[in-house]
Structures are given as C-alpha cells and as structure tokens.
Amino acid sequence: MNNPLTHFDHNGDPSMVDINDKKSTARMAIASGKIKMQPETLNKIINMKIKKGDVLVIAKLAGIMAAKKTEQLIPLCHSIPLSYVKIDLKPNINDSSIEITAEASLIGKTGVEMEALTAVSIASLTIYDMCKSADRSMTISDIKLIHKSGGKSGEFNA
C-alpha cells in the first residue's frame, strides 16, 4: 500500500519518517505570524514599561529556544542540529500589532519548517504571557510558512 501520509506506516500506525537514505542539503525555512493588542499595550512594550522586562528581547530568546526544542514538543519531528535561528519582531503602530518572523536553517536530511513555525508560535505566546496583565484581549494570528528551500521537494513560497 502506497501511503501518501508520511507519518504513518503501512498498518496506519504513527511512525517517524525514515531519513537515512536522504542526502544532506542546505535547508531553510521562514515562518511568520502576528499578535494584535490594544494601542496602549504596544506603546508600553515599545517604551519598555511592561513590569516583567524587555518584551521584545525575551520573546526573541524564547523563539530561539523553542526552535531548538521542537522535537520535544511535536512527537514525530526529528532531532536536528540547527545551524541558525533568527527572530525578527516588528511593532506595527498602524495595526497595533507585532509582526513576528522566524528563520531557521541547517545542512541536513530533513527540513526546518516546524522549527520556524514553533519559534513564531512561542515568541508570540511569550509576548502574550508578558503582557497579559495589561491586555487579555491580545490575539495571535496568521502563523504560517512563507518560505522553504532545500531537499527533494525544492522551494516553496507563500
């Protein structure tokens, strides 16, 4: 039986994909998302008036740490030696939001899409956690893969 769902074996049981025969290639992924908030909350973040500390610096660190721990959070992800993770956080005054972008890369046998997506997710959750006492109405949205390169399936751009 040829099963198009790669995380299930021929019996339909969950299985980690066998990457032993894959070639190591340069792989990169970029994911994005945003967190909307009240204008006063964004102003407090920009002016470092949140009591828990520098929200943007801590969210960047959280995103990087999360990318490195992805295999511990998502059951069938491979443990991979990330070579690079970068988090960008851009306050958007007009939209009263912070736009989050994460880039992850390595030279390896499997992609880094889940690591980039996890980094965006945790960076946004960290912003929420640090600011929830000021604004419980924040919303996290639009988390998506915007670019992927390397490997057999080639390049993807959203």
- Residues with a catalytic annotation lie at 129
* H or E element in which residue 57 lies: helix 55-68
Which single residue is written with the structure tokens 């996890």? 118
Q: CA 18 to CA 32: how far, in whole Å?
A: 28
- In order of 18, 101, 132, the CA distances from 60 in angstroms are 32, 10, 18
Burial class, 10, CB count within 10 angstroms (exposed 0-12 / middle 13-18 / buried 19+): exposed
Q: CA 57 to CA 42: how far, in whole Å?
A: 14
CB 77 within 8 A of CB 116: no
Q: Which residues contact 128 (CB under 8 A, 6 or more apart)?
A: 35, 138, 140
